[in-house]
Amino acid sequence: MKGRPLARRSLELASRVESEAVRLRRDLHRHPELGFEERRTTAVIAEYLESLGLDVVRPRGATGAIARLVPSGAASRRAGIALRADIDALPMGEKTKLAFRSSVPGKAHLCGHDAHTAMLLAAARALCAERSTLPRPVTFIFQPAEECVPTGAPVMIAAGALEGVSEIFGLHVAPDRPVGELALRPGPMMASMDRFDITVIGKGGHGAIPHAARDPIVAAAAVIEALQTCVSRRTAPIDPAVVSVCTLEAPGAFNIIPGKVKMSGTTRSLSPALHAAFPEMIRKTASAAAKSRGCRTRCRYSRGTPVLVNSREGVEKQSRLWEGLASAWTRGGVVENRPTMGGEDFAYYLQKVAGSFAFIGAKPRRAGGLLHNPGFTISERVLKLGTALHLSLALEK
């Protein structure tokens, strides 16, 4: 199937399962679970896939699910395609008036992972009915803990998610883009995302006699200021990078100099080389700044995600198929996505096989909050379109 016929077929199949996608999305939205805790979510996914006749693989000791749809004949021996959805929610309260809003205090699907999961489950249902026409095997990856550090993608890869797979595709809803728009670009599109935790250790004392102490608060201020030079003076101006200290904790009282201060933050970069250099740079910079104030540091640097690099071939395929859908849908199209300093662990899959990750427009008719916002909402019209794109990717011969 090529061009318009494939687009029309994909939209027709997506229409058949649209109500199912809506039902699934609302159920998952009502019952959010955090990364590596998605036990109910995993059970819902696994039971649904098994009801379609698919065998489900669950990573040992973790949540998430993998299922493969294998066609008959020669097509079963071809390299397969993988489609991925993330399944975890955020540790935030929801402030919407949705009838199906989160029923769990302090947890909510405010990044659209419920929609991603529903679209892929609906696509699995439609593709199972088309098994005889599949041109190659399809792997469905329902991944936990995209929002965590460490993240869930390496767990799924270790569980065999990419076995027999030659390319992979993923989608993320974009509540700030109109329905019908797909945003992506070849090459680096999303930044690496790591975490650092620094403890500045001094000597506590009375606030009235600071000369008898080694003040870790003053040293922490020097550390924070020095960390800014990692970007402003130690990286090339043409390499986008971010170093942000986001938490600061000093126990005690207003008249007591504490013995230590803790801080944590994140680094972001679109350069794989800079991503590799950040850990040592952060450690040395923090240590030198604290030492100059008579203190020392302990630094823990945790890898989050690498730079997300879309393959040119993957972007061309995803873009071409979306243009066909947009033409049949009579609205929307493909736009180039500016590189963003947000992180996404889909990057781990793209280090192994070619593919593409894209943002799919989901702007609601009434303005809702953006990603990671208590008022986040989407237009559920995106569910049909996202499902149709999954179907086009799987059905293209």
The answer to whether residue 2 scores a pLDDT higher than 70 is no
**pLDDT tens figures, 112-130:** 999 999 999 999 999 999 9
The yes-or-no verdict on residue 1 having pLDDT over 80 is: no
- Would the pLDDT of 74 be above 70? yes
User: Mind listing the pLDDT tens digit for each residue in 265-274?
Assistant: 999 999 999 9
Composition of the chain by helix, strand, coil, percent to 5: 40, 25, 35
- 355 pLDDT exceeds 80? yes
Residue 390 near residue 139 (C-beta atoms within 8 A): no
Q: Average pLDDT for residues 209-238, to the nearest whole number?
A: 95
Give CA angle at 353 (4, 317), nearest 5°: 15
pTM of the model: 0.94
With a cut of 70, say whether residue 160 has pLDDT above it. yes
Confidence band (pLDDT; 50, 70, 90) for 259?
Answer: very high
User: What is the percent of the chain with per-residue pLDDT over 70, rounded to a whole number?
Assistant: 99
Span 360-382, mean pLDDT? 93
329 falls in which pLDDT band (50, 70, 90)?
confident
Domains and CATH numbers, the chain: 3-188+307-395 (3.40.630.10), 192-305 (3.30.70.360)
pLDDT at position 193 over 70: yes
Cα distance between residue 71 and residue 121, in whole Å: 18
Q: How far is CA 112 from CA 58, 109, 274, 369, 370, in A?
A: 22, 6, 30, 12, 10
Mean predicted lDDT score pLDDT of the chain? 96
Average pLDDT over residues 176-203: 97
